[in-house]
């Protein structure tokens, strides 16, 4: 039962809830608002529609406005003539899945297939690939984030309820005019056939949109494609210098502070649900819990193997401590050295804790998963690859996001060394821990710190 709860928590938190919350509140890894002087962006979901999309294209042409259409693949397949017209008239085409179904209810492979199918339909008609994607209802998951290098995720800054006919054109126009300003990304719909929408709602939207386009023209505002807005925003933000904090370490932006706050809040919830323990409540580096190992056998370098059914002490880095170390580190090398020294101090505490708690006598090994896996061998850990599967893939994405937050070089480090950002399984037999770090054991002596730090510096890319 506990295992089911754990997997449920992992899936809901890592796969759906946290990515959705972060993207909605802070625009993390998605584009939802621009920085422009005289432009806004009209975006239309769910089409093309045989009745309303042609009317919309006529209206856009009348006011010389450009827009972005996030099309449903099944609809695009039925109306290739409309896809061609959208492209020929200078608008942008994006993907909105092959069917209008939330990504939370589909496996990563299914989402990938739907995106690929829709992209192929667009390419077969226009001869051009699209790299813009809006998930249905704007609900992102962990693997939507992982597609950042392939697809630009696009949400919106203003939504008006235009899929409901009862809102009416006048009220809809007032809502849109209230938000009409540079940088806004409008979410509208040129099809009313999806779940929860009204078939005739686009007619009301079209009438309201004409009022908005008239007003935009009067104010000197023009509607542009989403790719143009993204490019213009990037150009506008380019001159901004990176602020430095104490000791030359980059200062945190409000955005990163918000991410850290949510991340630590989630950690507290995780600790509460699974009753994690620590050897040092005031200044912890590890938290842990006892559980039964259920994976494939892991051969240990000391001999023997960790097998399904064995009791393990599952280790979790303290995220607040991890962040504190990362935010004060000036480089990759400095971060690695600080982490290794902290682990070195904690392992004797862990050995003594296990020795003093008879309830842990059946625990066979320490067990953890980490991207920070250069150096654990010197303590007696076996480092090995995670078995392929959902857990390995989701862990890789999550830990890369984590590294962007804690690492001194942040996103740049992850981008430049993506091939090295691979989570590994680290395992140490309890007997080895007690022998090397227990009070009565030989207590392993590491190299002189200067030699040790030099070895780390030589093995870790900056």
350-375: pLDDT as tens digits = 898 998 888 888 999 999 887 665 66
Write out pLDDT tens, residues 192-211: 998 889 999 999 999 999 99
- Cα–Cα distance list, 67 to 32, 39, 40, 187, 223 (Å): 15, 11, 10, 11, 7
Predicted confidence at residue 390, as pLDDT, reads 66
Structure tokens at 112: 């990938």
Predicted confidence at residue 148, as pLDDT, reads 52
Of 184, 216, 205, 174, the C-alpha closest to 41 is 184
The pLDDT > 90 percentage for the chain reads: 40
How many angstroms separate the CA atoms of 125 and 103, rounded? 26
Least confident of 42-56, 177-191, 300-314, 361-375: 361-375
Write out the catalytic residue numbers: 45, 189
Write out pLDDT tens, residues 290-308: 999 988 899 988 888 999 9
Question: Is the pLDDT confidence value at 251 over 80?
Answer: no
Predicted confidence at residue 286, as pLDDT, reads 86
Predicted confidence at residue 131, as pLDDT, reads 92
- Cα–Cα distance list, 169 to 135, 204, 211, 232, 325 (Å): 26, 5, 9, 31, 55
Q: Which residues neighbour 36 within 8 Å (Cβ) at sequence distance 6 or greater? A: 182, 183, 224, 229, 232, 233, 236
How many angstroms separate the CA atoms of 387 and 412, rounded? 28
Secondary-structure percent of the chain, ordered helix, strand, coil, rounded to 5:
50, 15, 35
Task: Provide mean pLDDT across the span 1-14.
Answer: 47
Least confident of 99-103, 156-160, 181-185, 197-201: 99-103
Predicted confidence at residue 225, as pLDDT, reads 97
């Amino acid at each position: 039962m506990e295992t089911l709860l754990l997997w449920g928590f992992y899936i809901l938190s890592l796969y759906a809830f946290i990515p959705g919350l972060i993207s909605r509140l802070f625009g993390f890894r998605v584009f939802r608002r621009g920085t422009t002087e005289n432009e806004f962006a009209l975006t239309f979901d769910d089409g093309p529609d045989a009745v309303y999309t042609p009317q919309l294209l006529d209206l856009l042409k009348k006011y010389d406005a450009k827009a972005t259409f996030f099309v449903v693949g099944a609809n695009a397949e039925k109306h290739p003539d409309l896809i061609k017209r959208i492209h020929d008239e200078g608008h942008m085409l994006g993907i909105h899945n092959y069917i209008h179904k939330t990504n939370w209810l589909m496996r990563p492979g299914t989402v990938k297939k739907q995106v690929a199918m829709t992209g192929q339909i667009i390419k077969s008609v226009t001869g051009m690939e699209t790299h813009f994607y809006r998930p249905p209802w704007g609900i992102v998951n962990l693997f939507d984030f992982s597609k950042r290098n392939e697809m630009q995720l696009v949400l919106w800054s203003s939504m008006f309820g235009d899929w409901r006919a009862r809102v009416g054109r006048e009220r809809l126009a007032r809502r849109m005019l209230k938000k009409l300003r540079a940088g806004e990304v409008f979410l509208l719909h040129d099809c009313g056939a999806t779940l929860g929408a009204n078939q005739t709602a686009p007619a009301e939207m079209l009438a309201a949109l004409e009022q908005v386009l008239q007003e935009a023209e009067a104010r000197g505002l023009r509607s542009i494609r989403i790719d143009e807005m993204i490019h213009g925003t990037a150009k506008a933000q380019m001159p901004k210098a990176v602020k430095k904090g104490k000791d030359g370490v980059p200062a945190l932006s409000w955005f990163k502070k918000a991410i850290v706050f949510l991340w630590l809040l989630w950690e507290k919830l995780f600790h509460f649900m699974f009753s994690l323990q620590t050897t040092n409540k005031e200044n912890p580096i590890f938290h842990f819990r006892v559980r039964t190992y259920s994976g494939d056998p892991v051969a240990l370098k000391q001999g023997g193997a960790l097998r399904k059914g064995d009791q393990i002490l599952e280790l979790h880095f303290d995220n607040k401590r991890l962040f504190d170390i990362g935010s004060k580190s000036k480089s990759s090398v400095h971060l690695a050295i600080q982490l290794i020294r902290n682990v070195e101090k904690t392992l004797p505490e862990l050995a003594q804790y296990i020795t003093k708690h008879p309830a842990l006598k059946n625990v066979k090994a320490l067990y953890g998963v980490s991207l920070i896996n250069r150096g654990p061998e010197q303590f007696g850990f076996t480092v090995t690859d995670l078995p392929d599967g959902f857990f390995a893939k989701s862990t890789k994405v999550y830990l890369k996001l984590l590294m962007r937050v804690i690492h001194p070089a942040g996103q740049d480090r992850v981008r430049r060394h993506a091939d090295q950002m691979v989570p590994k399984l680290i395992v140490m037999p309890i007997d080895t821990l007690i022998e090397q770090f227990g009070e009565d054991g030989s207590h392993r002596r590491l190299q002189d710190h200067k030699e040790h730090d030099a070895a780390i510096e030589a093995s870790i890319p900056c």
